[in-house]
Structure formats: structure tokens, C-alpha cells
Amino acid sequence: MTGILPMTRTAVPESTRFFGHPTGLTTLFFTEMWERFSYYGMRALLILFMTAAIAHGGMGLDDRTATAIYGLYTAAVYLTSLPGGWIADRLIGQQRSVWYGGLIIAAGHFTLALPSHQTFYIGLVLIVLGTGLLKTNTSALVGGLYPENSAARDAGFSIYYMGINLGAFLGAIICGWLGQKVNWHYGFAAAGVGMVFGLLQYRLTRWRLGNVGIEAVPAHAQAHAQSRFLRRSWLALIAGLGIIVLLVVVGYTGTVHYAPVSMAIWAGLAILALGLGFLAWLLFFGKLNLVERKRILALAILFLVQVLFWAGFEQSGSNFNLFAERYTRLSVFGYAFPASWFQSEDPLLIILLAPFFAWIWVALGRRNMDPSTPMKFALGLLFLGMSFLVMVGAAWIVVAGHKALPVWLATTYLLHTIGELCLSPVGLSATTRLSPKRYASRLMGTWFLFMALGELLAGLIAGRFTAHNVNEMPHMYASLAAMLIAVGLLMVLLSRPIQRRLIGDPPHDASAS
């Protein structure tokens, strides 16, 4: 359907600016804002809907199964970013990928809005596939709006990041209220409507992007080689989609019975083997020099640490969401609110705190006091560990037979967000900085691969917190806190050796490269 996004287009004039940035940034800002509205709006409801009793409109799943499905879903969203980028690069370009991805996402949300449990998993699969196409390529388009060494690029991504969190905040508020206070399926439908808004504004304003991300195959490629390249790529895509359709069909017909917990365990082992296998291949067969090998070892440590971080951090959408629904007093000054509204706190805090963190890292750097990348990872783990210590106190209140005040979860989410700001953007930056240029894209994909592993572990960990073992909650939260803080302290001790012996000091890095 080439008529939707024509392949020929003039570039946006350099004079066309939006407060010093290309006007295309506004198109991508609102596209991503509405996509995140839909994603986080639906996600705020997901675990609550799956565990709600059938009599109350839910699916009636037990906690262990529901949290495993949640982990598989969130992990799959990150895993599909890899084929999503491949499809854009090889076949249809980034602009078309965003358009078609948004259409598939909207279809998934409207499928969830159907009052039928039979179509639930189809809706999740569609959202996963659509997000894989859209999410990666909107970010790539933002980068493509700027010259390679533009000083405005980082500021542009900061503005774009605000759109992400604004959408996440509004989605949890609006979809959460509709889903819990009116009807579950109204909340899912609202997420679909949000994606449609994003598509409409993208369609009307995409001209601002000019020819950025419009081509999939280099124009200078020889016609014969290009034709063969495209044919093989399309065949690979069709085969992949065929496998997905087959897996869905055999599941719905009962030919194969999928056990979510077992699937999550085996998927996690496969991801771990794939990620470590690729890093080992790079070390031994990647033809790297000594400096590059050391940096790959440093990245391997950071990748594994982030698995633990996301396994704890993603308790927010599953474990903590259920804690809010079941064990928290959901009212402030006499005003009642739905449990899903807690999911809006993290994006709101990021909007408020991200500028402060950006400032403080720069300010410390000017005084040669900026913590190293490993130290920032350690800080992320320590703040996350402290958040689970807060949950130990909340859990003891529940064991005593009372409901916890909202301030317990609010404090937990605050520490969560501080930990995220210490680790997540720093990890992305370190991956781009430490990766050998010829492997940069694949190592960024590996970052997301290990992130997906953390999401799977988060679902499996959350499954241990059930309504039947409330008395064990303080001990389980304390165990998570102890593990995170212990690894955080270990990273504090190792941060200097990792920085000096593997990453290298900045002057040494510059000369080495």
C-alpha cells in the first residue's frame, strides 16, 4: 500500500524550526505520546483484569498464571523491537513502519475491548507486533531529524522523552478509571482510541518529517542485487508471520496447551543463552582489539546487572498493582481512586525529576565528581532495594490485619523512579558509547534482549506473592531488598576496577579509539 506513505518526498527545509528543533519533532512527540497512552493505559489494567473474578468481568486467573502472562507480554514487547527495526531497515522504511505499527496496535486494543475472553490473547499478540514496529522506529526517526553531530540532538530526545511520560501518565489515569470504575473493556477501548488519535495526527503532519526514514534499501544498490535482497527479506517476513499465526491457531484449537509459567521459564533460559552466546562470540570471534574486548566485558556486566534491576522494577505493574488493589486504602482526604492510578506516579515523577538529574550529572561533571557508569548502576540498585524495604513495612501492616496507607506505595514508586533515572538512560548511553561501531546496533539490541529477560523474571517473582501467602510477604520483600542492596554494594566496590580496567578513563578512551 504505497499510497499511504509515498516513497518520494522533499526534505524539510532547514529554516523550518520549532523552538530550535525540526518541526518533525512535534509529529513524533504526539505520535509517541498517544502510543504510550495506549500502552501504559492498557498495562495499568492488565494484571487487575486477569486476576479479577469472572463475576466481576475479569478472567479469574490465579496470580501465578496471570503474572507469568504479564511477564511474557512485557518481555515480548522489547523482543519484537529487534525484528521491527529489521523490517524498517530492509523492507518498508521507518515512516511506514510507524504507520502500520500504529494500525496493528489500535486493532489489538479494540480486540481487547471486545467482551469476550476468547479474543484476549489475540489482542495481546497484535499489540506486541505493532509496538515492535512503532516503538523502535519513532526513536530512530527522532535521531534522523538532526545532523550527525548536532548539539540539539540530546535536547530533542529529552523533549521526546517528555512526550513518552506524559502519555503514560494520562493513559493510567483515563484508562485506569474507565476500566475499574465503569467497565474493563471501556478502559481497553480508550487505549485504542488514544492510538487512533496518534495515527490521525501522524497522518496529517507526517510531511514535517521530509524524507527522513522513507527509504528502506539504499538507492545506490544494484537493481539485480536489490531485487534478490528484497525477495529474500519478504519471504523471511512471511515465514515469520506464518509461524506466529500457526502458534496462535494451535493454541486456540487446543492442539497444544500453553503453560504460561513454564513458557516464561524456558523463554528466560533461551534469552539468557542467546545473549551470553552472542557476547561470547564477539569476544572470541568478533576480531576485536584489546580495548574493545575489555569494553565488551564491561557491557556484559552492565547487561546482567540490568536484568536484576528490571526484575525488581517491573514489580510495579504486577505485584504492586495487586498490592494496591487488595491491601491499600484507596482514598485520600475522603476521595476514592482506583488502584491503577498508582501506575501514573512513575511517569509523573520522571517528568518532574528528569531535568534535575540531567542538571546534577552535568554539574557534578564540571567538578570532576560525576559518578562513573558502574557507580550509577550501583545507585540504581540501591534505590530500588530501599523501595522494597519500604514494602516490608507496608506488608507488616497487612499481616497485622490492616490496609496500608497510600503513602507506602507512593514512597516505593518514588524510590523506584530515582533508581530508574540513575540506571536506565545511563545504560542506553553506555551501550552506544562502549560498543564497537560495527556492532553498535546488535549490542543495542542485546541491551533490550537482557531487558526482556528482566521482564520475564519480574513476572515469575511476582507470581510468588499470592493471596494465600500474605504472612510471607514481609519476608519475601525483605529477601528482594537484601539481594538488590547486596549486588548494589558489590557494584560500588567493583565500580572503580570496572571503570579503570575495562571501560577506561575518558582521556584513555579517546586515544584508544
DSSP string, 293-306: HHHHHHHHHHHHHH
Report the candidate in 320, 102, 110, 137 with the shortest Cα–Cα distance to residue 213.
137
Q: pLDDT for 222-243, tens place per residue?
A: 555 667 778 888 888 899 899 9
State mean pLDDT over 300-306.
95
CA dist 6 → 103, 130, 214 (Å)? 17, 21, 8
> Is the model more confident about 284 or about 215?
284
- Domain boundaries along the sequence of the chain: 20-217, 259-513
Q: Are 176 and 340 in contact (CB under 8 A)?
A: yes
Report the candidate in 156, 162, 148, 135 with the shortest Cα–Cα distance to residue 353.
162
Q: What pLDDT score does 210 carry? A: 87
Q: pLDDT for 315-351, tens place per residue?
A: 999 999 999 999 999 999 889 999 999 999 999 999 9
Q: pLDDT for 169-227, tens place per residue?
A: 999 999 999 999 999 999 999 999 999 999 999 999 999 988 888 876 554 555 556 67
Rg (CA), the chain: 23
Q: What pLDDT score does 9 carry? A: 40
- Which CATH superfamily does the domain covering 20-217 fall into? MFS general substrate transporter like domains (1.20.1250.20)
Provide the angle, in degrees to the nearest 10, between the axes of the packed helices 260-285 and 440-462: 150
Q: What pLDDT score does 15 carry? A: 42
Instruction: Please give the Cα distance from 380 to 383 (Å, whole number).
Output: 5
Q: How many C-beta neighbours within 10 Å does residue 227 have?
A: 12
Q: What pLDDT score does 218 carry? A: 54
pTM above 0.85, yes or no: yes
Q: What pLDDT score does 217 carry? A: 55
Q: pLDDT for 486-508, tens place per residue?
A: 999 999 999 999 998 888 755 33
| Average pLDDT for the chain | 87
Q: pLDDT for 408-436, tens place per residue?
A: 999 999 999 999 999 988 888 788 788 88
Q: What is the Cα 361 distance to its own chain's centre?
A: 23
Report the candidate in 382, 399, 401 with the shortest Cα–Cα distance to residue 474.
399
Per-residue H/E/C for 380-411: HHHHHHHHHHHHHHHHHHHHCCCCECHHHHHH
HSE-up of residue 245 (Cα within 13 Å, Cβ side): 6
Instruction: Please give the Cα distance from 501 to 505 (Å, whole number).
Output: 9
C-alpha cell at 206: 507526517
DSSP string, 399-446: HTT-PBPHHHHHHHHHHHHHHHHHHHHHHHHHHHHHS-GGGHHHHHHH
Q: What pLDDT score does 226 carry? A: 66
Residue 21 gets the label, from left (phi > 0), alpha (psi -120 to 50) or beta, of: beta
Q: 259-513 maps to which CATH number?
A: 1.20.1250.20
Helix (H) or strand (E) holding 280: helix 260-285
Q: What pLDDT score does 18 carry? A: 63
Q: What pLDDT score does 493 carry? A: 96
State mean pLDDT over 134-155.
78
Instruction: Please give the Cα distance from 71 to 457 (Å, whole number).
Output: 7
Instruction: Please give the Cα distance from 265 to 75 (Å, whole number).
Output: 12
Per-residue pLDDT band at 363 (split at 50, 70, 90):
confident
- 146-150, 264-268, 423-427: the lowest-pLDDT one: 146-150
Return the top range by mean pLDDT from 106-115, 362-371, 425-434.
Answer: 106-115
Angle at 464 between CA 462 and CA 469, to 5 degrees: 125
pLDDT > 90? residue 393: yes
pLDDT > 60? residue 94: yes
Q: What pLDDT score does 19 carry? A: 65
